[in-house]
Amino acid sequence: MVDITPADGIPPAEVAEVELYHPHSWWTKYVFSQDAKVIAVQYSATATAIGLVALVLSWLMRLQLGFPGTFDFITPEAYYQFITMHGMIMVIYLLTALFLGGFGNYLIPLMVGARDMVFPYVNMLSYWIYLLAVLVLVSSFFAPGGPTGAGWTLYPPQAIMSGTPGGQDWGIILMLSSLILFIIGFTMGGLNYVVTVLQGRTRGMTMMRLPLTVWGIFTATVMALLAFPALFVASVMMLLDRVLGTSFFMPAISEMGEQLPHNGGSPILFQHLFWFFGHPEVYIVALPAFGIVSDLISTHARKNIFGYRMMVWAIVGIGALSFVVWAHHMYVSGMHPYFGFFFATTTLIIAIPTAIKVYNWVLTLWRGDIHLTIPMLFALAFIVTFVNGGLTGLFLGNVVVDVPLSDTMFVVAHFHMVMGVAPILVVFGAIYHWYPKVTGRMLNETLGRFHFWVTFLGAYLIFFPMHYLGLMGVPRRYAELTDMTIMTESAHHLNSFISVMAFIVGFAQMVFLFNLIWSVRHGREAGGNPWRATTLEWQTPQTPPAHGNFGKDLPIVYRWAYDYSVPGAKEDFIPQNMPGSFGPSREPA
Amino acid sequence: MSVILVFLLVIAGFAGWWLSHQGLMTKPWLEQGLAGDLVGLDRSALPTAKIGLGVFLAVVGCLFALFTSAYFMRMAVPDWQPLPLPRLLWLNTGVLVLSSVALQCTSVAARRGQIDTVRLGLATAGLTAFAFLVGQFMAWRQLTADGYFLASNPANSFFYLITGMHGLHVLGGLVGLGRTTTSAWTGTRPERLRLGVELCAMYWHFLLFVWLAIFALLAGWAATFIDICRQLLT
């Protein structure tokens, strides 16, 4: 299968040119823009802004948990509202939007060698509907009764009853409407990401030559397109229960001695729908992180990714498996033991492709020329954090261990490690890595290293003690823990310590934000390819890439994305669009 | 949740078939250059818009499969009282079939370049689809007049919810059809018009299929069918 065709004789015109939308004014260039790169920045900025709200909410929660009774304005109702909004924002409006809307929009067209997304107008709509969803969400803070306090899982019947904050006010209605809008907007964007990968690839860019970042985002988007409808269905049905008095999820129930009009509905049905979305959602966040981290490690260790094919298969395998594990979130809701057995088995099977990926990352590092740049530091931190979080997943995936642990801080620690801290570390690494392409300047190195060490060590100091608290039996979801026998004095001290650390880590994020803004003007000039990377986004004629990405002719791809340190080559990297054949390893297989 | 799992199995089968054509067994680290096997692995020859619509229809299919799953799960609770379906729905089904047939003829005419037939076909399809929506609304009115309100029984709730969701999709399709129809009169390039017509036809056939499926579901035949299957299996 060796193919050493001299490529010089092949004309580059075989990729059909697309009709590119050309902006005519400042408004259509920077605000109502159809350029995927601008949309990506808009998505990222909006997601970051709403993420800051979620960060502040987590501070408020930690104030209450670390120093109970000190702050009068944090009532139990307010605490539940903070929890709910923090969770919902972080999972959906920050991580999903940032990975798919932000990185997806920026990287897919550039990495596959396209001028733009295939449906730019729909792409623009996607962002504006997302913004609308965020605004609806934020508006619930100012609605009478405040935002919903139902927990991010929004379980009925409590979610729409008067005992829950926002249950009989505007809170839950705005939350559900915002989710419905988000899903509509996401579907528009998601169609673009998928079809651009299918149809936008430039000449020579086969699926098996795609960088793993694109594979990760592509698979995650396919999963999201199939999983988000479940949340859509659940939201619409709950909205009808709340507004029009139907009984999809609401059983016969009385409230304050009064019989509610509902009858016979099934709360378990909601849980099935919710988690049918909710579990794939974990991997919708994780798969782009897996992909990005593979590219960061390969680039900064100057070595080809180990087991590229296995990495692709593992991504696809994880994507498929994640649709048949949802009920492991419902062990405590009660189920037939055989179902529990089935879901525990499928859950543990996911560990196999995931472990393959971890081994491959480690083997890529093995004897690599590791540059401890900031993206690399974050990538390494991701690997250890993901392994840590994944190991506690083995505990919780087993029914008998999950049942006693399910309502404790152990679960909080587990999911924050595995789908909070780990993907966020990748987000940071990716920002340090691609910021030079987006702005043309490097982020400040000293601030970056400060940001990394405080975030990485701080996150461990926050979440490691939580495992311990959970094993002691400290429950989650409680606004007030003072009078419990479980809460020994040392447990209280630990809680205060966690809170202090949460403030320090949060402060480090402010430094990061400052760095982001300051470096736009004052950062060191980056040049076109500061990391000496092979993928197409670094080969653009201009930095930042102009509208249309690649000058007059689209690049032609002659090799995979990981030709680092090829023996016999002049440099230690060979861009994907460089013709010719290198290296002694290219004998017929 | 078995309906949605079966649906996803079909999607997975399709995805697997597609992946098997992408050279997943190749060794990209050994292959440099352009020619040879790699040429067949580039993008599909189908128009991009059609692939986009195909992906979108998979999402819509997923949505209705989930509604169906929820329907079956909620149906198992004893308070379920099936509602008598208005006869009007049969007429509506006929009208929607007519609409789909009209678009199929239009699509054939567009391929042959007969612009007058295309215009006639598009107008017929638009009017019949609109008539379908009016008919669905009349069916709703009949049901409420007979006392079958949205909240009085879960069977009613599901009826209004699912037919409403389907109606919204038809309404969205009418927007697309409207744009294609306008372009048939203002004179766009023939290949562009043809693509537009084909996309509309594809969407219409899909919505007809969804309608037949949910009609069977709401009428209770789907449940009977599944019961028979279950008995055969056990």
ipTM of the complex: 0.94
Q: Is the peptide bond before A588 cis (omega within 30 degrees of 0)?
A: no
Q: How many structural domains does chain A have?
A: 1
Q: What is the pLDDT of residues A24-41, one digit of tens each?
A: 788 888 889 999 999 999
Could you give the dihedral angle defined by the CA atoms of residues A58, A64, A70 and A73, in that order, rounded to the nearest 10 degrees?
70
Residue B66 exposed, middle or buried by CB count within 10 Å (0-12, 13-18, 19+): buried
Domain range enclosing B213 = 84-233
Q: Kindly report the CA angle at B136 between A185 and B185, in degrees rounded to 5?
A: 65
Chain A nearest-CA distance from B49, in A, is: 8
Residue A338 domain-assigned (yes or no): yes
B75 at A interface, C-beta within 8 A: no
Q: What is the pLDDT of residues B18-47, one digit of tens each?
A: 998 888 888 888 888 775 445 555 677 788
- As a whole number of angstroms, the distance between CA B192 and CA A431 comes to 41
Residue A259 domain-assigned (yes or no): no
Residue B51 domain-assigned (yes or no): no
Window from A151-160, B48-57, B216-225 with minimum mean pLDDT: B216-225
B229 at A interface, C-beta within 8 A: no
Query: Which CATH number characterizes residue A75's domain?
Result: 1.20.210.10
Q: Which of B88, B110, B68, B66 is nearest to B202 (CA)?
A: B110
- As a whole number of angstroms, the distance between CA A306 and CA A294 comes to 9
pLDDT at A159 over 70: yes
Q: Which residues of A touch B12 (CB under 8 A)?
A: 320
Residue with the two structure tokens 């909006």: A46
Residue A473 domain-assigned (yes or no): yes
Chain B nearest-CA distance from A559, in A, is: 5
pTM here is 0.94
Radius of gyration of chain B, Cα coordinates, nearest whole angstrom: 22
B117 at A interface, C-beta within 8 A: no
Q: What is the pLDDT of residues A551-580, one digit of tens each?
A: 888 898 989 999 999 888 888 999 999 888
- As a whole number of angstroms, the distance between CA A108 and CA A111 comes to 5
Residue with the two structure tokens 């733009």: A116
Task: Enumerate helices (H) and strands (E) in chain B, giving the number of each.
Answer: 7, 0
Q: What is the pLDDT of residues B163-218, one digit of tens each?
A: 999 999 999 999 999 999 999 888 788 888 999 999 999 999 999 999 999 999 99
Closest by Cβ to B55, choosing from A195, A308, A312: A195
Q: What is the pLDDT of residues B96-137, one digit of tens each?
A: 999 999 999 999 999 998 899 999 999 999 999 999 999 999
Contact A281, A87 (CB under 8 A): no
Quick one: tokens of A180? 């419905």
Residue A286 domain-assigned (yes or no): yes
- The count of other CB atoms within 10 Å of the CB of residue A159 is 27
Residue B189 domain-assigned (yes or no): yes
Is there a contact between B43 and A585 if contact means CB atoms under 8 Å apart?
no
Query: Which CATH number characterizes residue B210's domain?
Result: 1.20.120.80
Is there a contact between B4 and A230 if contact means CB atoms under 8 Å apart?
yes
- In terms of phi and psi (left: phi > 0; alpha: psi -120 to 50; beta: otherwise), the region of A196 is alpha
pLDDT at A13 over 60: no
Is there a contact between A187 and B35 if contact means CB atoms under 8 Å apart?
no
Residue B204 domain-assigned (yes or no): yes
Closest by Cβ to A5, choosing from B11, B33, B79: B33
Strands A258-259, A254-255: pairing is: antiparallel
Give the sign of the dihedral formed by CA A433, CA A187, CA B70, CA B230.
negative
Residue B60 domain-assigned (yes or no): no
Give B70's Cβ-side CA count (13 Å radius).
37
Could you give the dihedral angle defined by the CA atoms of residues A316, A318, A324 and A328, in that order, rounded to the nearest 10 degrees?
-170
Q: Which residues of B touch A180 (CB under 8 A)?
A: none
Chain B nearest-CA distance from A3, in A, is: 6
- As a whole number of angstroms, the distance between CA A475 and CA A141 comes to 27
Is there a contact between B43 and A264 if contact means CB atoms under 8 Å apart?
no
Q: Which residues of A touch B33 (CB under 8 A)?
A: 3-7, 558, 579, 581
pLDDT at position B196, please? 93
Is there a contact between B23 and A559 if contact means CB atoms under 8 Å apart?
no
Q: How many structural domains does chain B have?
A: 1
User: First CA to last CA across chain B, in angstroms?
Assistant: 19
Which residue is closest to A207 within chain B, CA to CA? B22
Q: Which residues of A touch B57 (CB under 8 A)?
A: none
Closest by Cβ to A5, choosing from B19, B35, B48: B35
Query: How many beta-carbon pairs under 8 angstroms link A with B?
Result: 181
Contact A7, B34 (CB under 8 A): yes
pLDDT at A203 over 90: no
* Alpha-carbon distance values, A189 to A110, A415, B66 (Å): 16, 27, 21
Residue A186 exposed, middle or buried by CB count within 10 Å (0-12, 13-18, 19+): buried
User: First CA to last CA across chain A, in angstroms?
Assistant: 7
Q: Which residues of B touch A562 (CB under 8 A)?
A: 29
Q: Which residues of B touch A264 (CB under 8 A)?
A: 77-80, 154
pLDDT category of residue A20 using cuts at 50, 70 and 90: confident
Residue ranges of E strands in A426-521: none
Contact B24, A208 (CB under 8 A): yes
Residue B183 domain-assigned (yes or no): yes
CA A289 to chain centre: 7
Burial string for A453-464 (b: 16+ CB within 10 Å, else e) reads ebbbebbbbbbe
Residue B16 domain-assigned (yes or no): no
Q: What is the pLDDT of residues A260-304, one digit of tens each?
A: 888 888 999 999 999 999 999 999 999 999 999 999 999 999 999
- As a whole number of angstroms, the distance between CA A125 and CA A112 comes to 23
Residue B77 domain-assigned (yes or no): no
Residue A15 domain-assigned (yes or no): no
Is there a contact between A308 and B29 if contact means CB atoms under 8 Å apart?
yes
A563-570, Cβ contacts within 8 angstroms, sequence gap of 24 or more: A563/A304, A563/A534, A564/A298, A564/A299, A564/A301, A564/A302, A564/A303, A564/A304, A564/A534, A565/A302, A565/A303, A565/A304, A565/A369
Entry field: residues in chain B: 234
pLDDT at position A351, please? 92
Q: Which residues of B touch A277 (CB under 8 A)?
A: none
Domain range enclosing A350 = 31-250+269-582
pLDDT at position A587, please? 46
- Please state the φ and ψ torsions of residue B208, each to the nearest 5 degrees: -65, -45
